[in-house]
Amino acid sequence: KQEVTQIPAALSVPEGENLVLNCSFTDSAIYNLQWFRQDPGKGLTSLLLIQSSQREQTSGRLNASLDKSSGRSTLYIAASQPGDSATYLCAVLNQGGKLIFGQGTELSVKP
């Protein structure tokens, strides 16, 4: 059974810092991995999608990496801003066609 774990559960940083969020999964047989952002009481916004054959994806200040063999992904946020404060979720699409989510990392960026 696929399990997705995100560390840390919560993170508070001062504005301007670079930071890394971690995601690990137990079954490497995945189609892709997706990082999402969720603001309180809102739906999910897709940030980056990495196909199983890819190693990383970049969008603006965000960079996501994928090491499928070790079951790990990281989301790197450069020069963090207060507007980045949200919960970040990673999810893997397993070979059964289901999206399995981690518990999320709650990020707070202090001005």
Partner 1 sequence: GAVVSQHPSRVICKSGTSVKIECRSLDFQATTMFWYRQFPKQSLMLMATSNEGSKATYEQGVEKDKFLINHASLTLSTLTVTSAHPEDSSFYICSANPGQGYYGYTFGSGTRLTVV
Q: Angle 49-78-57 (CA atoms, 0-180°, nearest 5)?
A: 20
Of 19 and 49, CB closest to partner 1: 49
CA distance 5 to 35: 13
Least CB distance to partner 1 at residue 63 (A): 17
The residue ranges that bind partner 1 (CB under 8 A) are 32, 34, 36, 41-46, 49, 51, 89, 91, 93, 98-99, 101-104
Cα–Cα distance for residue pair 87/35, rounded to 1 Å: 11
Paired with 94 in beta bridges are 30
**In the complex with partner 1, which residue's Cβ is closer, 36 or 71?**
36
Nearer to partner 1, 43 or 83 (CB): 43
